[in-house]
Structure 1
Amino acid sequence: MLRRLASLLALCAISAPALAAQPATMRLDYLHSGNALDEHYAIDRVVIEPLPWPGSLSQTLDPTNRGNNLVEVVDAKTGKLLYSRGFSTIFAEWRTTDEATRADRGFQESVRFPLPEQPVKVRILKRDERNLFSVVWTTSVDPNAMDVIRKQPPAPVKPIGIRVNGPSEDKVDLLIVGDGYTQADMKKFEADARRLADHLFATSPFKERAKDFNVWAIARSTSASGVSRPSTGVHKESPLGTRYDIFGSERYVLTTDNRALRELAQYAPYEFIEILVNNDTYGGGGIFGQFSTAAAGNDWANYLFVHEFGHHFAGLADEYYTSPVAYATGGERREPWEPNATALRDPTQLKWKKFVKEGTPLPTPWPKEAYETASRAYQKERAALRANQRPESEMSALFQRDLTQSSALFSRDPHVHTVGAFEGANYEATGYYRPEMQCIMFDRSDKFCSVCADAITTIIDLYSRPTR
């Protein structure tokens, strides 16, 4: 541990001249509130974080067209676009739930960008019914204003360098944050972070681009191990407030305490965050451009870590459709912005057509009926295990049996390795299509399909630069 820390400090010292050229990091914390029909924004505070901007100043504009929202930072005097990034929000998911039809709620959100020299306008854009971005909120930010928070308290804990491959501005910086780890669990947290990072970089396309990443880890200790599972009567304090049962889904794990997350994360370089909860129960979640979560002690932690990171990092859609989810997708079949799902309104314009071989039928046939018959039985058994609070080992065994059966079913199909358009995706049995029969985003298999891998590579390219 001491040797690793010494190496980290040495690297930071070596990188200091490069980092010194970077501007500071500015964070705008705001409140996003409303209901199913209406939404509002309000400034909470403007903060200058302790560390320099971790990203490349040569790639400040986002060309990927991903996310439900887009942040733009514009020079107030000239109107020049200085920075943009796509993202999604917990609020957008919540407003599709039943609760949003009868109540208002507010959520904390943040956007981060390089500290500007002059006043700027920060604009939040949202996709409209044409699937285009339009401005829904604009606020003025003066970096020299008296109410900007410029001084932060000392770091409560020091980050650990898990994989450090170069200056932050040249690399994708992934921060692994622990929640539900006691002081006695801190060695376990570091081991969990290293183990899951190793698995991420054993998975293509992250494997081939491992040198383009830095990975850091940070955690504040809790008084008791684990995080809350309200549906089972388990309530625990934790620094980030991460918990199960988000929006009533027993496996959905998120934190809605954005301020707590950002106040801890700001002491490490980061562009992406994955929260590890110190629990054995299957669960996780991922919000594009915000963070992802995974239960570190579960038998399927490797899958959870990579699958949920796919949502957060690349904006990948869930391709499964037989599991219940916490929020509604709506009856319309609009073309999804996510790169790995389509409504297939015009097969000749399929968004991933560069991967489709000539002569491939669109839609592409697959053993859908047999899969759904088996899946209905599996989901019934899964619900019974949770309702009866059976041991987690029984759930893990069920997951393995389901994966084995579906893989065997798919292996006999002539299109098992075909890139096409397979109906059933984005939580819907009909009207949405996925690129391949099997993918990490569809089931608990261990590979991304060609389209998801390409979408991930696009984001890696946006945040990293070749070694100089």
Structure 2
Amino acid sequence: MNRFAFHFLAAALALAAGAACAAQPATVRVDYAHSGNALQDGYALERVVIEPLPWPGSTARNIDATDRGQNRVEVVDAKTGDLLYSRGFSTIFGEWRTTEEANKISRSFQESVRFPKPDRPVRVRILKRDERNQFSVAWSVDVDTDAQEVVKKQPAAPATPIAIHTSGPSADKVDLLIMGDGYTAGDMKKFELDARRLTKHLFSVSPFRERATSFNVWALAVPTSESGISRPSTGVHRASPLGTRYDIFGSERYVLTLDNRALRDIAQHAPYEFIEILVNNETYGGGGIFGQFSTVAAGNEWANYLFVHEFGHHFAGLADEYYTSPVAYAAASTRMEPWEPNVTALRDPASVKWKRHVKTGTPLPTAWPKAEYEEASRAYQKKRAALRAANRPESEMNALFREDLRATQALFAGKPHRHAVGAFEGANYEASGYYRPAMQCLMFDRSEAFCPVCQDGITDIIDLYAGPARQ
């Protein structure tokens, strides 16, 4: 790094930390193990860490009232029980326990929660949704960072963060960290270009476009010895710093890392509240867990769509609105009203959760060409499975995706309620019983825009971290 670049980065990091770093508390991370199976789970403390950088968020916005996530972390005063900090989140364990494998064996997953260092002993509580869809305490641990054994000295940063998009002090902004996996030392310029390209696209999509000045974006990648990440279903195995791979839970397109400690130990060297992992691959794939991270195959033709769609899961807890693609999860035995803001079980059409967007006269449920769509989708999914089974070139899969999107657009064109907000049956991986707000949305297929309800859901989270947009 030349002297100019070093000083620019130092200035950007100082800006992000908010110049008066001393005013910001330290960042505490609690690493723990979450293990169990489909019927039961448990928790065990691994370690408490003081991260190298100060807390990136505003201490004036410590309490999360969005009611998002399958879980919630609460930090309370150990003596008085006063709530000091809370955030909703979901977990990889929570997804895994809905798979067939969870009915057969138990597994353990690494998890972490982060919060601003308190000035007193606290109790950290992990809550989860119960059978009433309400939060109840699943586990708690007492933390006193001034008295107990705490990891306070960290190794030097394994790579230098790159300032991609800086808007102001971290405490007033959403800090997004773009991490790379599967990029060699010779690929580092490519990683930076990928990060800049995808950031530019993110800020071209509403409501991120209108709120671009509410974000800081950083990029950080530790070089690998080989380009690309593991794809076990095709016999490809790569060692990489983040351990990201395809074929998670048996789904060939699902890309995650199960090595949470490796992820957090690298990420802690840049300011962040959200993480997007770019994998240096062309094969279609990605994933997103609310409050954890999202991933995208940066070299795929559909990377722009994948980046924004998966970030919608991670950032705002948006549900998938599609239901005809195969997934790793087993269908739920009951249809509880989802916590996600963009899907509903429609128990009471008169009080649908997005009713402020529903115009008078719009029927609920709302008609759409469902049977025709499903017939076309069955044929499309058959072609898609055949291409993967034959290990055909990715260009053929991309062409099929383009063909499918064109067919959907043609089917929906001119239909009643085409651009209305209503309640369209088919969402959340289920053909019946769940409803989405719009006929078509970025969370439904590979289209280009979020519906108004998804935009609201994203804006709520931007406001939680950066405050409402200034008029």
> Do both proteins adopt the same fold according to a TM-score greater than 0.5, normalized to the shorter chain?
yes
Secondary structure of the 2:450 match is coil
User: Which residues of structure 1 form unaligned runs of 5+?
Assistant: none
Post-superposition offset of 1:4: 5.0
Structure 2: distance between partners of 1:210 and 1:372: 37
Q: What residue in structure 2 maps to residue 91 of structure 1?
A: 93
Secondary structure of the 1:421 match is strand
Structure 2: distance between partners of 1:456 and 1:19: 29
Q: What residue in structure 2 maps to residue 355 of structure 1?
A: 357
Pair 1:195-2:193 in alignment: no
Structure 1: distance between partners of 2:212 and 2:307: 16
Q: Once the two structures are superposed, what CA deviation does each residue of 1:307-348 show, in whole Å capped at 9, x if it has no partner?
A: 000000000000000000011131311100000000001001
Answer yes or no: is the 8 Å Cα contact 2:12–2:163 preserved in 1.
Answer: no
Pair 1:124-2:116 in alignment: no
Give the aligned residue type for 2:7: A
Pair 1:380-2:382 in alignment: yes
Post-superposition offset of 1:78: 1.5
Q: What residue in structure 2 maps to residue 303 of structure 1?
A: 305
Secondary structure of the 1:145 match is coil
Pair 1:267-2:269 in alignment: yes
Q: What residue in structure 2 maps to residue 253 of structure 1?
A: 255
Residue from 50, 58, 61 that aligns with 2:60: 58
Secondary structure of the 1:58 match is helix
Pair 1:440-2:442 in alignment: yes
Post-superposition offset of 1:19: 2.5
Answer yes or no: is the 8 Å Cα contact 1:240–1:260 preserved in 2.
Answer: yes
Post-superposition offset of 1:102: 1.1
Residue from 105, 110, 113 that aligns with 1:111: 113
Answer yes or no: is the 8 Å Cα contact 1:18–1:167 preserved in 2.
Answer: no
Structure 1: distance between partners of 2:74 and 2:431: 36
Give the aligned residue type for 1:82: L
Pair 1:213-2:230 in alignment: no
Q: What residue in structure 2 maps to residue 12 of structure 1?
A: 13
**Structural mapping, 1:413-428, within 5 Å:** 413-428=415-430
Secondary structure of the 1:435 match is strand
Post-superposition offset of 1:161: 0.3
- TM-score (ref. length: structure 2): 0.98
**Structural mapping, 1:262-341, within 5 Å:** 262-341=264-343
Structure 1: distance between partners of 2:146 and 2:152: 10
Answer yes or no: is the 8 Å Cα contact 1:382–1:395 preserved in 2.
Answer: yes
User: Between the two proteins, what is the percent identity of the paired residues?
Assistant: 72
Give the aligned residue type for 2:406: T
- TM-score (ref. length: structure 1): 0.98
Residue from 134, 139, 147 that aligns with 1:145: 147
* Structure-2 change in CA distance of 1:254 and 1:78 (3 Å): same
Pair 1:229-2:222 in alignment: no
Q: What residue in structure 1 maps to residue 466 of structure 2?
A: 464
Q: What residue in structure 2 maps to residue 181 of structure 1?
A: 183
Answer yes or no: is the 8 Å Cα contact 1:72–1:122 preserved in 2.
Answer: yes
Q: Once the two structures are superposed, what CA deviation does each residue of 1:371-405 show, in whole Å capped at 9, x if it has no partner?
A: 00100000000000000000000000000000011
Post-superposition offset of 1:408: 1.1
User: Which residues of structure 2 form unaligned runs of 5+?
Assistant: none
Answer yes or no: is the 8 Å Cα contact 1:321–1:428 preserved in 2.
Answer: yes
Q: Once the two structures are superposed, what CA deviation does each residue of 1:116-160 show, in whole Å capped at 9, x if it has no partner?
A: 111100001111111110011011111113410111111111100
* Structure-2 change in CA distance of 1:348 and 1:237 (3 Å): same
Residue-pair matches, total: 468
Answer yes or no: is the 8 Å Cα contact 1:5–1:161 preserved in 2.
Answer: no
Structure 2: distance between partners of 1:23 and 1:103: 41
Secondary structure of the 2:431 match is strand
Give the aligned residue type for 2:419: H
Structure 2: distance between partners of 1:313 and 1:146: 33
* Structure 1 stretch displaced more, 223-232 or 140-149: 140-149
Structure 1 outlier segments of 4+, above 3 Å: 1-6, 11-17, 465-468
